[in-house]
């Protein structure tokens, strides 16, 4: 092999390995327009704000022409990763790059795979639609996180661009976090992007998306897709809840007393995953996507090794869990459950959090929960390019250096948040 071909061969074989083993290429889409030339470049992801209407046809009446409008959203190439190593033993290095199964290619592909998969699973998982976090109920059967108190529990104010929720009462006389099943007197810290809703004893609002926590008693929110107007229940309509009295036994997170609003925040307490409940949890994820009218094909769930082991044990009892045992596994695919292709990757690629209010509560021990993404391929867009691949002379020695630069980025469009959900669980 000529030395000038070294970089090309190395990049080609690493990418082949990466696209065969990483989960990102199969759980994300590459539906963008534009060329990646350097870091900071933007490519365009197209989206349609409205569905194409299907209208009734009447003989003798002119048809109404609809004009779909596409909106361009920019995906920024904000990630830059490089390889830089010497190839002093040229003959041996040539053999390494020609062999796709060599340890050099394997290690380089694994490093790229881990960096890209981790970025998706740790950062972009929080872009799922408000209301799409599972389970919806905590271990005691109550809503994951209930806030409010006697009298007026939550005051809502709205403007043209945002709504504000302010806690105004503390049932337990405690400005911090109360015990399990009690109403809490403060908003926890890590809540941006989570679902938020207003509750009464007879009804509740839709789930809204938290945009900021300005203090322990104040947060701001908007619609799940970032809008403040549109069809359905909007920010400006939340004060229209029927009979905002609290009390009685009809609402699971309240145990009676006074009148006023309460509220709930989703995804604040992890649930233990076992062989007896894992199928029910995954079907709940499927139900979340079904409610959002997400297509049945190209659905994926990405799991750590311990979750796969639980699925294998559960498959003995549940025939709908099909775990694969082939020797060759592509893109981490190890099974299929409830309409999802199951992909396994290492633990360190997942986002893990301690239960947000365990640290300040004596009611239970903190659990470190994994956020396990379940999504349709339309959820997130991925753009990647091996931008540079070259062999250069080392400055201070008689040797050659290989240098390669990878550029990539992700984008979750606001309206595609509904195509993603996640399970917050621990083993």
Beta strand segments in 77-192, E: 79-86, 133-134, 146-147, 154-158, 163-167
Helix, strand, coil percentages for the chain (3-state, nearest 5):
25, 30, 45
Element at 251 (helix H, strand E): none
Q: How confident is the model at residue 97 (pLDDT cuts 50, 70, 90)?
A: low
Instruction: Give 158-170 as a DSSP string.
Output: E-SS-EEEEE---
Query: Is 148:199 a contact under the CB 8 Å cutoff?
Result: yes
pLDDT class of 363 with cuts at 50, 70, 90: very low
pLDDT (0 to 100) of residue 138: 45
Residue pair 219/196 in contact by the 8 Å Cβ criterion: yes
Axis-axis angle for helices 305-315, 278-291 (nearest 10): 100
Is 308:273 a contact under the CB 8 Å cutoff? Answer: no
- Quote the DSSP letter at residue 43: E
User: Which residues face 60 on adjacent strands?
Assistant: none
Question: What rounded mean pLDDT belongs to the chain?
Answer: 77
* Other CB atoms within 10 A of residue 317 CB: 10
Location of structure tokens 């040229």:
90
Give the angle subtended at the CA of 194 by the CAs of 229 and 176, to the nearest 5°. 120
Q: In this predicted structure, what is the pLDDT of residue 143?
A: 40
> Residue 174 has what pLDDT?
41
Q: pLDDT band for 243, please (50, 70, 90 cuts).
A: very low
C-alpha–C-alpha distance, residues 391 and 86, integer Å: 9
Residue 360 Ramachandran class (φ > 0 left, ψ -120 to 50 alpha, else beta): alpha
Between 423 and 356, name the one with better pLDDT. Answer: 423
DSSP assignment letter at 195:
E
pLDDT tens sequence across 143-152: 445 554 444 5
Q: Percentage of residues in the chain with pLDDT exceeding 90? A: 34
Most confident range (mean pLDDT) of 60-69, 136-145, 280-289, 386-395 is: 280-289
Task: Please provide residue 191's backbone torsions phi and psi, each rounded to the nearest 5 degrees.
Answer: -130, -5
Three-class DSSP category at 213: strand
CB of 224 closer than 8 Å to CB of 418: yes
pLDDT band at 48 (very low <50, low <70, confident <90, very high): low
The single residue listed with the structure tokens 């400055």 is 395
Maximum mean pLDDT: which of 11-15, 101-105, 164-168, 230-234: 11-15
Is residue 43 pLDDT above 90, yes or no? no
CB 232 within 8 A of CB 206: yes
* Confidence band for 47, pLDDT divided at 50, 70 and 90: low
Per-residue confidence (pLDDT) for residue 327, from 0 to 100: 53
Which residues are within 8 A (CB) of 36 and not within 5 positions of it... i.e. 6 or more apart? 43, 77, 383, 384, 385, 387, 407
Segment 329-344 shows an average pLDDT of 90
Confidence grade of residue 309 (pLDDT, cut at 50, 70, 90) = very high
User: Of 211, 242, 220, nearest to 155 (Cα)?
Assistant: 220
Question: Residue 75: helix, strand or coil by DSSP?
Answer: strand
pLDDT greater than 90 at residue 295: yes
Whether the CB-CB separation of 336 and 377 falls below 8 Å is answered with no
Q: Rounded distance, CA 13 to CA 2, Å?
A: 16
Give the separation between CA 318 and CA 306, rounded to whole angstroms: 18
User: Which two structure tokens, joined as six digits, stand for 201?
Assistant: 């004893």
pLDDT at 105: 83
Q: 214 pLDDT band (50/70/90 cuts)?
A: very high
Distance from the Cα of residue 151 to its chain's centroid: 36
How many Cβ atoms are within 10 Å of 122's Cβ, its own excluded? 16
Span of 26-40, 92-106, 197-211 with lowest mean pLDDT? 92-106
């Amino acid at each position: 092999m000529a030395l000038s071909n070294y970089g090309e061969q190395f990049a080609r074989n690493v990418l082949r390995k990466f696209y065969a083993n990483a989960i990102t290429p199969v759980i994300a889409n590459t539906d963008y327009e534009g060329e990646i030339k350097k870091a900071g470049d933007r490519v365009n992801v197209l989206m349609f704000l409205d569905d194409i209407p299907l209208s009734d046809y009447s003989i003798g009446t002119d048809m109404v022409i609809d004009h779909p409008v596409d909106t361009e959203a920019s995906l920024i190439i904000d990630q830059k990763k490089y390889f830089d190593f010497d190839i002093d033993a040229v003959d041996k290095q040539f053999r390494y790059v020609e062999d796709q199964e060599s340890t050099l290619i394997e290690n380089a592909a694994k490093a790229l795979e881990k960096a890209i998969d981790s970025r998706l699973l740790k950062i972009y998982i929080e872009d799922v639609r408000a209301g799409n976090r599972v389970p919806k109920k905590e271990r005691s059967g109550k809503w994951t996180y209930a806030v409010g108190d006697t009298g007026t529990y939550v005051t809502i104010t709205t403007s043209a661009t945002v709504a504000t929720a302010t806690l105004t009462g503390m049932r337990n006389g405690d400005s911090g976090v109360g015990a399990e099943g009690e109403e809490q007197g403060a908003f926890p810290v890590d809540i941006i992007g989570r679902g938020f809703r207003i509750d009464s004893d007879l009804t509740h609002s839709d789930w809204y998306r938290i945009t900021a926590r300005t203090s322990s008693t104040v947060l701001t929110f908007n619609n799940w897709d970032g809008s403040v107007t549109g069809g359905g229940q909007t920010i400006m309509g939340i004060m229209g809840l029927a009979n905002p009295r609290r009390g009685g036994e009809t609402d699971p997170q309240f145990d009676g007393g006074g009148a006023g609003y309460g509220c709930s925040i989703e995804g604040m307490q992890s649930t233990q995953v076992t062989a007896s409940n894992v199928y029910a949890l995954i079907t709940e994820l499927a139900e979340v996507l079904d409610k959002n009218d997400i297509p049945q094909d190209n659905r994926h769930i990405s799991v750590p090794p311990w979750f796969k082991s639980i699925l294998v044990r559960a498959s003995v009892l549940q025939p709908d869990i099909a775990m694969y045992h082939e020797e060759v596994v592509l893109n981490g695919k190890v099974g299929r459950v409830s309409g999802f292709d199951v992909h396994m990757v290492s633990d360190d690629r997942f986002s893990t959090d301690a239960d947000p209010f365990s640290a300040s509560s004596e009611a239970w021990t903190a659990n470190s929960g994994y956020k396990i993404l379940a999504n349709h391929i339309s959820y997130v867009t991925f753009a990647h390019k091996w931008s540079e691949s070259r062999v250069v002379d080392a400055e201070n020695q008689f040797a050659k250096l290989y240098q390669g630069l990878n550029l990539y980025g992700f984008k979750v469009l606001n309206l595609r948040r509904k195509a993603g959900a996640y399970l917050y669980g621990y083993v």
